[in-house]
Amino acid sequence: MLRGFTTVTFFADDMTEARSWYTTVFGAEPYFVRDAGDQTAYLEWRTGDYQHEFGLLNARFAPHRPAGRPSGAVIYWAVDDVEAAYRRLLELGATPHDEPTERGPGYVTASVTDPFGNILGVMYNQHYLDGLSKV
């Protein structure tokens, strides 16, 4: 039986730059670092209301992905203000992927491509907020 998501993992060629960028995005240093020889192989943060795990894997250890194209599934992070979160990510060096769009009442999404070629989504979702009140 599936119990739920544990860790979302993105890939980066430049782990030093990726660490700096995501530390700024999350406002915290990674809590877990795994080195492989003289370079960082993996970084992990706990973030958000449920302390979900966000990992960055050195792309040299990643399965094949097409060069120059965004990779991975679109994982949406809950935010209170999609437009503000989207603008902040662009100011930090991300590029537009999908502009803020209302998908229905209480449901707004947007996504960017991070500087490392991964798609990062942000979402305001009333169902998510309703679920928090039941925890």
Q: Which of 15, 11, 52, 20 is nearest to 35 (CA)?
A: 15
Residue 86: pLDDT over 80: yes
CA distance 98 to 109: 8
- Identity of the amino acid at 86: Y
Domains, the chain: 1-61 (3.10.180.10), 72-135 (3.10.180.10)
> What is the model's pTM?
0.77
Q: Residue 21, SS3?
A: helix
CA distance 123 to 66: 26
Kindly report, residue by residue over 24-52, the tens digit of the pLDDT.
999 999 999 999 888 899 999 999 888 88
Mean pLDDT of 2-23: 86
Residue 110: pLDDT over 70: yes
- The DSSP output letter for 31 is S
